[in-house]
Amino acid sequence: MTEPLDLTQQSLHRIVGRLHERGMLVFSQSENRRAGPPSPELTLRKDWCLTLGISVNVGSISLCLMGFGEPLENMEIPQTGSSLSLEMDRIEAAVEDILARRGAGRRDVLGVGLAVAGHRMLETAFNCPLPLAHWSLIDLAPVLGERLGLPVWADNVARTAALAEAIFGVGRDVADFAYIAHLHGYGGGLVCGGMPFRGSFGNAGEFSVLFGRQDYDDRPALNQLLEHLRTKGRLGLTLKDLKNEELVDWDGVEEWIDRVTPAHNRAINAICAIFDPALIVLGGELPHSLARMLIERTEFNNLPRHGALRDVPRIAVAQIIDAPGAIGAALIPLFETVL
């Protein structure tokens, strides 16, 4: 561990000893049979602290109970209606349920991360899509914090999903990557040096800004796919229905992919030009089958100069597909207080 951390062995032993004294690390017998004295294996003590992540998307509210270093429980409840108070009631009840699964109470929780779909406006206020208008332009962290009696941090759901991918997904070995969140809308997040990059106003990665009003219907936003499929006779579809990987064979899906490919390529090339990451992740609620179709159609603006092409990022499908926004949100209290 000394080489990747750029620490001397003495410094590493001192740090590890302090973390062990605080109960954050557990020593176990190493099975490594190398010559010399055996070194203990180190693992995080997952019940050292608990955090909660809550993500609010169109149609669903996801919760994640996070231990120290790994998600312990996930839960999803419907997002319905237009009353913030009623939805806060349902969130509060869901928090009790998910804690009860582990025999825990609110007193055991370090803090809560809240992720909301929408542009960030104030410190913890967002301008949300129309179905979430009742969540918009309200300083949400103090409202939820008063309800739960816990400290709350808030961020955009696409950025917390990017954080989840950085810690647990394909971004683990990549310091700089862009995450495209295909949700009801179309947004994303940037991870720079292994940490989320938010920009001056907290909206770095809002890829929908690349498109004027006349191009909005041709973005790879999943609400546009739902509307397109309804014209093909699939009435009553919701975002949850798109998790069916067989939808690739539905009438109208390939037609929609072809229609949004130019917008997809515009976003990909803008990311390359401005951010120059090693990796671009297609995530959000985009089914893997559709993500692969977009990857197959990706075209980089990469004209050769002196017979040579510049390096371009790898494009990958997100690995964290169940509640990525909530998982990333649950990490925020850890980063804000412990790490």
Domain that holds residue 230: 170-317
| Number of domains present in the structure of the chain | 3
CA distance 147 to 109: 14
Structure tokens at 42: 């180190």
Is 90 in the same domain as 229?
Answer: no
Is 290 in the same domain as 179?
Answer: yes
Is 94 in the same domain as 157?
Answer: yes
Render pLDDT for 176-191 as a digit per residue (tens, 0 to 9): 999 999 999 999 999 9
Is 138 in the same domain as 263?
Answer: no
Q: Looking at residue 49, what is its pLDDT? A: 83
Could you tell me which residue, 112 or 80, shows the higher pLDDT?
Answer: 112
Is 62 in the same domain as 153?
Answer: yes
Among 26, 44, 62, identify where a domain stops. Answer: 44
* AA identity, residue 74: N
Question: What DSSP string describes 117-166?
Answer: SSEE-SSS-EE--GGGGGGTTS-HHHHHHHHHTS-EEEEEHHHHHHHHHH
Could you tell me which residue, 230 or 41, shows the higher pLDDT?
Answer: 230
User: How far is the CA of 188 from the CAs of 30, 194, 245, 283, 302, in angstroms?
Assistant: 41, 16, 22, 9, 23
The residues pairing with 63 across neighbouring beta strands, listed in sequence order, are 54, 75
Is 275 in the same domain as 208?
Answer: yes
* AA identity, residue 204: A
* AA identity, residue 174: V
Is 28 in the same domain as 83?
Answer: no
Is 17 in the same domain as 37?
Answer: yes
Residue showing tokens 């990747």 = 4
CATH number at residue 116: 3.30.420.40
User: Are 52 and 95 spatial neighbours (Cβ–Cβ below 8 Å)?
Assistant: yes
* Helix (H/G/I), strand (E/B), else coil: 260: helix
Look up residue 308 and give its DSSP letter: B
Is 189 in the same domain as 291?
Answer: yes
Q: What is the mean pLDDT of residues 35-52?
A: 73
Asked whether the predicted pLDDT for residue 72 surpasses 60, the reply is yes
Give helix then strand counts, H and E, for the chain. 9, 14
The residues pairing with 64 across neighbouring beta strands, listed in sequence order, are 53, 74
Structure tokens at 331: 């990490």
* Helix (H/G/I), strand (E/B), else coil: 169: coil
Is 24 in the same domain as 73?
Answer: no
Is 247 in the same domain as 177?
Answer: yes
Is 244 in the same domain as 306?
Answer: yes
Q: How confident is the model at residue 338 (pLDDT cuts 50, 70, 90)?
A: confident
Tell if the pTM clears 0.85, that is, is over it: yes
Give how far the C-alpha of residue 9 lies from the chain's centroid of Cα atoms, to the nearest Å: 35
Residue showing tokens 């130019």 = 262
In the chain, the largest separation of any two C-alpha atoms, in whole Å, equals: 70
Backbone angles phi, psi at 62, to 5 degrees: -105, 145
